[in-house]
Amino acid sequence: MAQMNLLQAINNALDIAMAENDSALCFGEDVGHFGGVFRATSGLQEKYGKARCFNTPLVEQGIIGFANGLAAQGSTPIAEIQFADYIFPAFDQIVNESAKFRYRSGNEFNVGNLTIRTPYGGGIAGGLYHSQSPEAYFAHTPGLKIVVPRNPYQAKGLLLASIRDDNPVIFFEPKRLYRASVGEVPEEDYQLPIGKAEVTEQGSDITLLAWGAQMEIIEKAAEMAKKDGISCELIDLRTILPWDVDTVANSVLKTGRLLISQEAPLTAGFASEIAATIQQECFLHLESPIERVCGIDTPYPLSLEKEHAADHLKVYEAIKRSINY
């Protein structure tokens, strides 16, 4: 075991993936010699050569198009989009191409080897275009898998699983935690399951559900609630698509209450899908409405970012609201 921050854990996973598989490539804007603007690919060009780890021209639709082609050919592309806010020029290549490649061809061809890594999320004074959490934009797309880790240990295990998964995976990295989150990470190879949520804390009064950097927020809120004698069960969804209905539903059957918190704005966020499904799965067991604590329905602001955010205080208030319903 070693102490790693989230970036190091990701770098380590990429290193393992490239070492074991000659056809694995890492590329994207500034990903080569420089190692990416966050340095997630640091040292990989030196180790694996310029043919396997390189800068691309500045064109997201090209990066993912190129990656789709590589994946179809049998290589294992791991493409980086510099910020999740800049993934939209590649939306067509992801939603119309990556996601539908296998289906439309009757499995004659597929891009299952594709992994897209991209830093997401706010809280770093990034304003409209360095803060977005766009997971829900992709979640309406059968054929994609979407994974979000909450800490270094999860990041390494889930990224290795994503790279090896035989479906296109978008791997959203919580950039606020890149250096802030440090933890024990095994140096050897391991994988964590895609498609499985994790109960990170048992509780009996209410289920709190989040993913990625937002886990920290609900943990903090749960601490506050504990002082009021409220016992929270915490779940990290980990995979947004396809998501683990059973783990969430089982928890809610037990606690009778659900709160979902996401960084992204409320309307049509992924919390809505979860609420819609769980109200159906657990209808007779719900003791209060499912709460969604999300960003305000605006573009991501700069100076009022605290006000915009779904912070622990807003989550805490919503816990009390739910309990006292």
- Residues known to be catalytic: 60, 130
Comparing CA positions, the residue from 207, 194, 179 lying closest to residue 148 is 194
For position 95 contacting its own copies by CB under 8 A, the verdict is yes
Choice from 148, 271, 315, 318 touching its own copies (CB under 8 A): 271
**Type of residue at 55:** N
Q: Which positions from 24 through 63 interact with ligand TPP, judged by CB under 6 A? A: 29, 58, 60
Smallest gap from Cβ 167 to ligand TPP, in A, equals 24
User: Under a CB-based contact definition with an 8 Å cutoff, are residues 274 and 224 in contact?
Assistant: no
Q: Which positions from 242 through 261 interact with ligand TPP, judged by CB under 6 A? A: none
| Burial zone of 47 (CB within 10 Å; 0-12 exposed, 13-18 middle, 19+ buried) | exposed
Residue 292 phi/psi, 5° resolution?
-115, 120
Alpha-carbon torsion angle 195, 197, 198, 202, nearest 10: -150
Q: Which positions from 235 through 274 interact with another protein, judged by CB under 8 A? A: 242, 245-246, 266-267
User: Under a CB-based contact definition with an 8 Å cutoff, are residues 235 and 199 in contact?
Assistant: yes
Smallest gap from Cβ 32 to its own copies, in A, equals 24
How many residues interact with its own copies (rule CB under 8 A)? 48
The partner in contact with residue 167, picked from ligand TPP, another protein, its own copies, none with C-beta cut-offs of 5 to 8 angstroms by kind, is another protein
Comparing CA positions, the residue from 239, 155, 146 lying closest to residue 190 is 155
The partner in contact with residue 19, picked from its own copies, another protein, ligand TPP, none with C-beta cut-offs of 5 to 8 angstroms by kind, is none
Exposure class string for 16-38: b at 16+ Cβ within 10 A, else e: bbbeeeeebbbbbbbbbeebbeb
Q: What angle do CA 251, 248, 84 make, to 5 degrees?
A: 145
User: In terms of CB distance, is 93 or 151 closer to its own copies?
Assistant: 93
Instruction: Give the H/E segment covering residue 128.
Output: none
Q: Which positions from 25 through 84 interact with its own copies, judged by CB under 8 A? A: 61
Choice from 21, 86, 189, 288 touching ligand TPP (CB under 6 A): 86
User: In terms of CB distance, is 92 or 246 closer to ligand TPP?
Assistant: 92
Q: Which positions from 127 through 166 interact with another protein, judged by CB under 8 A? A: 127-130, 142-143, 145, 166
Comparing CA positions, the residue from 54, 52, 49, 51 lying closest to residue 31 is 54
Relative to beta strand 198-201, strand 239-241 is unpaired
- Please report where in the chains the tokens 């989040």 appear, as a residue: 210
Smallest gap from Cβ 266 to another protein, in A, equals 8
- Please report where in the chains the tokens 């998501």 appear, as a residue: 243
The partner in contact with residue 288, picked from its own copies, ligand TPP, another protein, none with C-beta cut-offs of 5 to 8 angstroms by kind, is its own copies
Choice from 30, 37, 75, 88 touching its own copies (CB under 8 A): 88
* 316 DSSP 8-state letter: H
Contact positions toward ligand TPP, by CB under 6 A?
29, 58, 60, 82, 86, 89
Contact positions toward its own copies, by CB under 8 A?
61, 85, 88-89, 91-92, 95-96, 99-100, 103-104, 128-129, 136-137, 139-140, 142-143, 241-242, 264-265, 267-277, 279-280, 283, 286, 288-292, 297-299, 325
